Amino acid sequence: MNTLPKTLEEMKKLPEAGLKDPEGVVLLTLAALCAYESSKDECYRMLDFLRGPRPLSNFDKQFIRDRFMDGAYYIPRSYFEGATPENDYKPSSLRVNMKESAYAEEGYKKYDLKSGGADSPRQVVLRNKPSTGEWFLWDQFLLAGIRTPKSKDAWA
């Protein structure tokens, strides 16, 4: 990706939207979470698309809303290359440092993603739909707290 999609329509135009490449689905998940800052409804629409036959529940939406309640829109950006607390999580590229985990049940894939603001990687879980070969977002643990950006840190 050269730019992050801001709407579901923009997302569907990307090659990764074919959902055949699991790493592409992980990237689209980050893009969807980044969209929350400009439109929570678009974020939810994008995540519903990525979740396929299992749309977000009200609990899922509340969880996401809670994570962003204090304005922590920088969290999903922290996974992109070059994003650190010192530069307010402004990425130098839209590349993501991810590694497939060996610990996944059959039909699932787990990816560990490195955040510029956390000491340990965070995980995304995908599930395969064998009848279509598509990979769908099953779960994500990307919105846990990270170090505060320098510009928002009262103790910096």
> What are the average pLDDT values for consecutive 10-residue runs of the chain, which has 156 residues?
94 97 98 97 98 97 95 96 96 96 93 97 98 98 94 74
Please give the pLDDT value at position 42: 98
For the chain, what is the largest distance between any 2 Cα atoms, rounded to a whole number of angstroms?
Answer: 53
pTM passes above 0.85: yes
Please write the tens of the pLDDT for every residue from 31-74.
Answer: 999 999 999 999 999 999 999 999 999 999 999 999 999 889 99
Domain ranges of the chain: 8-145
Q: How many angstroms separate the CA atoms of 60 and 148, rounded?
A: 24
Q: How many angstroms separate the CA atoms of 93 and 1, rounded?
A: 9
Element of type H or E holding 49: helix 40-51
CB 135 within 8 A of CB 22: yes
